[in-house]
Amino acid sequence: MVKNIWQVPYGTTRIEFNVAYSSRKTLGISVYPNAEVQVVAPYETKPAQIEEKIMKKAAWISRQIRRFKSIEADRITRKIEYVPGETFYLLGRKYRLKYIPDTLEIIRIEGRCLVVRGKTRPGPEKMERLISNWYRAQAKMIILERWERHHHILRKEKFSAHRISIRSMKHRWGSCTENGSISFNVALVQKPVQCIDYVIVHELCHLKYMDHGKGFYRMLGKYMGDWERRKARLESSMH
C-alpha cells in the first residue's frame, strides 16, 4: 500500500504521520497500537494547517505512542499457558477456559466459559491445538457470514473478489492483493462484530483502490459513515 508519510520535529525526535483526505468537515488525528499516527483531513486542508494541528497535539500524540508501546510490550511478554482459568475472547466477549470430564470430546461456549469436554484433560500443547482449531472454525463461519452481508457493495460497484481466505496474520487484520484475493486474520473473530464489518468493508474498498488515497476514503465513507469510530475501537485495545 502507498502511504503519504509526513514528519514534524518534536523536541529531540520527529513525529511521523500518515495523511489521508476525505469529505469530513474537521481534521482528525488517531494514534494506533502499532505507533502509527493517522491524520484524516478535509480535502481543502492546506499542509501548513495539518502541521500546525499536529504540533498542538504533539504532547498527546507522544503519550499515546508510549502507552501503546507499553501495551505491546506486555502482550509480547504475556505467555498463554492454555490451562483452565485463562481468558479467551469471541466477538469482543470474554470467556474463561474450563475443562469438564465427559464421554464426548467437544469444545464450545457454555455461558461465560469456553468449555473443553473430553475423557481426559488435554495437556497445554493439545489444548492449544484444540483452541486454535476452534477459533479457525468460528472465524470461517462468522467472517464469511459477515462478508455475505456486504456483498451488495460488490454488485453496486460492479467488481468481484477473486478469492476469500481466513488465515493467521501477525501484523494485519486483513489484506487485499492486486488480483483481488482477500485474506482475513483468524484473530479478527475475537473482536466485536462492528470491528469485523469495518475490516471487511475496508478490504472491499481495496478491490477498487489499492492505496489509501482520496478515492479509497470516499468509498469507505460512502458505505460505512462511522468507519473512524469502528477503526478506533478495533485498534484501541487487545480485544
pLDDT tens digits, one per residue of 150-177? 989 998 988 888 899 999 987 789 988 8
What pTM, to 2 d.p., does this model score? 0.70
Q: DSSP letter at 186?
A: G
* Residue 56 binned pLDDT confidence (cut-offs 50, 70, 90): very high
State residue 2's pLDDT score: 42
Cα–Cα distance measured from residue 35 to residue 62, given in angstroms and rounded to the nearest whole number: 9
Examine the pLDDT at 237 and tell me if it is beyond 90. no
The per-residue pLDDT of the chain, averaged, comes to: 87
* Residue 25 binned pLDDT confidence (cut-offs 50, 70, 90): confident
State residue 1's pLDDT score: 38
pLDDT single digits (tens) 90-148:
999 999 999 999 999 999 999 999 999 999 999 999 999 999 999 999 999 999 999 99
Question: For the chain, how are helix, strand and coil distributed in percent, rounded to 5?
Answer: 45, 25, 30
State residue 95's pLDDT score: 96
Name the range with the highest mean pLDDT among 52-56, 84-88, 134-138, 155-159: 134-138
Examine the pLDDT at 13 and tell me if it is beyond 90. no
- In the chain, the amino acid numbered 35 is A
Q: Give the closest residue to 82 by CA, choosing from 122, 113, 118.
A: 122
Between 33 and 7, name the one with better pLDDT.
Answer: 7
Examine the pLDDT at 66 and tell me if it is beyond 90. no
Give the DSSP H/E element, type plus range, for residue 61: helix 58-77
Cα–Cα distance measured from residue 118 to residue 104, given in angstroms and rounded to the nearest whole number: 6
Sign of torsion over alpha carbons 147, 152, 157, 158: positive
